[in-house]
Amino acid sequence: MIALIVNPFAGRGRARARAIVAERALRGVGNVRRYETEGAGDERRCARQAVADGARVVVVVGGDGSVHHAARGLLDTATAGASEIPLAVVAAGTGNDWVKSLQTPSHDVTAMAARIAAGVTRVVDVGEIDGVPFVNAAGLGFDVEVLERMQRVTRLRGTAAYVIAALRALLGYAGYAARWTRRDGQRSAPRHLLTVFANGGTFGSTFRIAPQAQLDDGLLDLVDITALSPRARPWVFFRAIRGTHLTHPSVTHERGSAWTVMSERPLVFEADGERYEARGATLDVNVRAGALRVIA
């Protein structure tokens, strides 16, 4: 059985239309059972239920948030090593960042159905921050500020709301205070504009935040931008769109498998664009190599 998980609100309703096309294509491959989410984050429950129902593959129709929660559900069912049931994605969100790095035909449902029929899979890494898995990236600082400002942009949605919120944060966000420490003892500066732990290469729909990142190398890319004046920020972010920001003097880039972030109070972070509050003033970040099985 092929499980089709649909977030009908993803991509401002695009997911519902994409799901109809996807279901038609997948019925040429096998029996399809549809699971429609009932609320925010419900993809996780749907994925667990699909595995319990005997699904041989889980197909998610939605954006980065839908993929995030569905992947968490599949990881919940993994007993050892990689998740046994592979994940496939039909992109229907605003950013679709992870699938850009995955390089599967997520926008071509016919090609995706053919990949599922062939049954070829691969395993990719999953990051983890404060115990929360993420498939693409997790961040502290500016990106969280943008998410929170988006909630206050009530007249717009999607990309337009993101752009307005990002511009306001670019000029008005003061940064956050913390130090991150790698397991080898290296410590960061005390104040930051943005810290990203990237498994995939793109971030925020637009930025090539970690152009060297690979999904299956057992490593995450840490990209940290120190607190800059509002006047100095646009040039760094413009360079990040092109992926040439890593050589800027305000940017720190390193690759590794584990870090610890320490602050005076619990921080708010995002994982694949989903907002979370830290459980304490110390955040552990690590990578689970080869933890998620996907359609290749």
Mean residue pLDDT of the chain comes to 89
Q: Is the pLDDT of residue 183 over 70?
A: no
Domain at 133-289, CATH from 2.60.40.10, 3.40.50.720, 2.60.200.40, 1.10.8.60: 2.60.200.40
* Average pLDDT for 167-176: 85
User: What pLDDT was estimated at residue 67?
Assistant: 95
* CA atoms of 89 and 4, how far apart (whole Å): 10
* CA atoms of 39 and 146, how far apart (whole Å): 22
Q: Is the pLDDT of residue 142 over 70?
A: yes
Coil, helix or strand at residue 236: helix
Sequence-distant contacts of 15-24: CB under 8 A, at least 24 apart: 15/61, 15/62, 15/63, 15/66, 15/92, 15/93, 18/61, 18/90, 18/91, 18/92, 18/109, 19/61, 19/90, 19/92, 21/109, 22/59, 22/61, 22/90, 22/109, 22/112, 22/113
- The pTM of this model reads 0.92
Q: Check residues 92 and 241 and name the one with the higher pLDDT.
A: 241
User: What pLDDT was estimated at residue 246?
Assistant: 92
- Which residue, 77, 88, 26, 80, is CA-closest to 54? 77
Q: Is the pLDDT of residue 157 over 70?
A: no
* CA atoms of 149 and 195, how far apart (whole Å): 18
Q: Where in the chain is the domain with CATH 3.40.50.10330?
A: 2-119
User: What pLDDT was estimated at residue 154?
Assistant: 63
Alpha helices in the chain (DSSP H): 14-26, 43-52, 64-77, 97-102, 109-118, 142-150, 158-172, 233-242
Q: Give the CATH fold of the 2-119 domain.
A: Rossmann fold (3.40.50)
Percentage with pLDDT > 70 across the chain: 94
* Average pLDDT for 118-140: 96
Q: Where in the chain is the domain with CATH 2.60.200.40?
A: 133-289
